[in-house]
Amino acid sequence: MITVDHLTKRYGSFTALDDVSFEARAGRVTGFLGPNGAGKTTAMRVVAGLTPASAGRATVLGRPYATLPNPGRHVGLLLDASAQHAGRTGREVLTLGAILTGVDRRRVDDLLDLVGLTEKEAGRRVRNYSLGMRQRLGIAHALLGDPEVLVLDEPANGLDPAGIRWMRGLLRGFAERGGTVLLSSHLLGEIERVADDIIVIGHGRIVASGTTGELLSGSGTVVRSGDDTALAAALTARSVAVTPTATGGLLVEAEPAEVGRWALAAGVALLELRSGDERGLEEMFLDLTAASAREEVAA
Ligand SMILES: Nc1ncnc2c1ncn2[C@@H]1O[C@H](COP(=O)(O)OP(=O)(O)OP(=O)(O)O)[C@@H](O)[C@H]1O
């Protein structure tokens, strides 16, 4: 179990995390989803005791990470796959990790096997690894201490489709045996296939959270019309919440049949009318991504 409680992180005048609270529960995979720069890595670094919080706190298994006795035995971390010593071989990285965590060195072979690194690859220096191989090594390292909790920052980066499917199976199995998994990604499709719960973060704030089923079933109606401005004004006049979507059209908090009737009353022709269903989350996410992209261009 990971608990993040009213966490704020400021870098000078910039607020990277703004009053962020969420839980990642045991026996579940929790997806931490947000566009580039949303604050995912910062939150995970605070959870792992690598970055101090400006306010609020994060606990793992009921206590701050730094106060866990032999944390590697409880929490497996993969925060930067390129952080391994480039001059060591994969096998050396894992053997050293085993010695430092007090794990039987024979576990190294089992883990190399589990993550699909061959004997030959394990004997190569990490500087010659592809990103996918580094991720596999990073996952093996995270699993060394047979932890109850995994915190993985973008673990699918650099993995090929077969590797992504393999990792999904591994994380699902870990959670099914009672483990807690928190994994981040900037790709909705990747998260929705593996996560039981999803937390969406944008600009340092949680913008949505819930079970994957809840978030994907979504609510509301996606509508495109001949005159979205007039339709939005007509709906707003009825006190119905309307949000323009990044992909064009409106996301309306009402049932499709109602939206159709109101559009008719307002004399606006409809081009598309459908239940928000899983597109609701996708469009909210695209909105977040589009907003960040605009800011980057403006900066
Ligand atoms: N040490 C730091 N000093 C100043 N700003 C920082 C620092 N670390 C992160 N930031 C800023 O905080 C914001 C959040 O960064 P973070 O790395 O947590 O985002 P992210 O969601 O993990 O993004 P990505 O998907 O690109 O990895 C960014 O605007 C980033 O530039």
- Residue 14: how many other CB atoms lie within 10 Å: 8
**Which CATH code, of 3.30.70.1230, 1.20.1740.10, 3.30.1330.60, 3.40.50.300, is assigned to 2-216?**
3.40.50.300
Instruction: Give 62's contacts (C-beta < 8 A, 6+ positions apart).
Output: 1, 3
pTM of this prediction?
A: 0.80
Going by the DSSP 8-state scheme, the letter that residue 136 receives in this structure is H
Instruction: Give the ligand 1 atom nearest the CA of 38.
Output: 21
DSSP E strand stretches across the chain: 2-11, 14-24, 28-33, 55-60, 75-78, 149-153, 180-185, 197-202, 205-211, 221-225, 242-244, 250-252, 270-275
Mutate to test the pocket of ligand 1, among 4, 9, 11, 296 (most ligand atoms within 8 A of CB): 11
Give the mean model confidence (pLDDT) for residues 186-194.
88
- What are the residue ranges of CATH 3.40.50.300 in the chain? 2-216
Q: What is the pLDDT, as a whole number, of residue 187?
A: 86
Q: Whose CA is nearest to atom 18 of ligand 1?
A: 39
Portions of the chain given CATH number 3.30.70: 217-298
**The domain 217-298: what is its CATH number?**
3.30.70
Residue ID of nearest Cα to ligand 1 atom 12: 16
Residues 6+ apart with CB under 8 A from 284: 200, 207, 208, 251
The arithmetic mean of pLDDT across residues 192-199, rounded, is 92
Report how far apart the first and last C-alpha atoms of the chain are (Å, whole number).
38
Structure confidence by residue, pLDDT tens digits, 230-255: 999 999 999 998 888 766 789 888 88
Q: 39 CB under 6 A from ligand 1?
A: yes
Nearest Cα residue to 174 out of 23, 27, 24: 27
ipTM strictly over 0.85?
Answer: yes
